Amino acid sequence: MNRGRLFVISAPSGAGKTTLLKGVMSGIAKMKFSVSHTTRVPRNGEVDGVDYHFVSRETFEKMIAEGKFLEYADVHGNLYGTSHASITEQLANGYDVVLDIDVQGASILRDIPGFDAAFVFISPPSLTELERRLRGRATEDESKIQVRLRNARTELESMDKYDYIIVNIEISEATHLLSSIILAERAKSHRLPSGDPIEKVLQ
């Protein structure tokens, strides 16, 4: 069986990454979402084990000590990490796996010798539009919005390190573009759009 492909997706908070990924994941077969661990409090509508594994800081730090994370980072005062177990089996079974991680985590992965993945950065059209989206969510106070905007400026400086950059001006267009990138990567590794190996056609 062909091994699946890793897709590392990063974006500033408010760039529309979550909506974009949900649209892509629902339309392409053999895709899995790596559920990260985090110490932050769940937002309204988020489900433990689906959106994130919500754990205490104590539990998270114990997992660090036990070497269970492929990468982890402190983002906005909360810890986020990707466990080895969350991706290894899925890749071996031929599934493509999406890692939704920040630029810190992506940088760590990029520096791992032999680490192979397609790195995709989702950018807002502008910082002005990003601020409008953050305020439109009405989920955070002014101080947190300002922190996210400051972090966004730093994160945008890293986007040239990614293989692909998608500017999320219009969600349907950005969804189509990300889907096209995934399908192109499958063709590059001699796989059908379905995710199956091309050899199956020739049998």
pLDDT one-digit tens code per residue, 167-179: 999 999 999 999 9
Q: Enumerate domains of the chain plus CATH numbers.
A: 6-194 (3.40.50.300)
Q: What residues of the chain score a pLDDT lower than 70?
A: 1, 138, 200-203
The overall longest dimension of the chain from CA atoms, in Å, is: 60
Alpha helix segments (H runs only) across the chain: 17-25, 57-65, 85-92, 103-110, 127-137, 142-156, 171-188, 199-202
Tell me the pTM.
Answer: 0.82
Task: Give me the half-sphere count of Cα atoms (radius 13 Å) on the Cβ side of residue 20.
Answer: 29
> Are 121 and 10 in contact, with CB atoms under 8 Å apart?
yes
Q: Six-digit token pair at 173? A: 């267009």
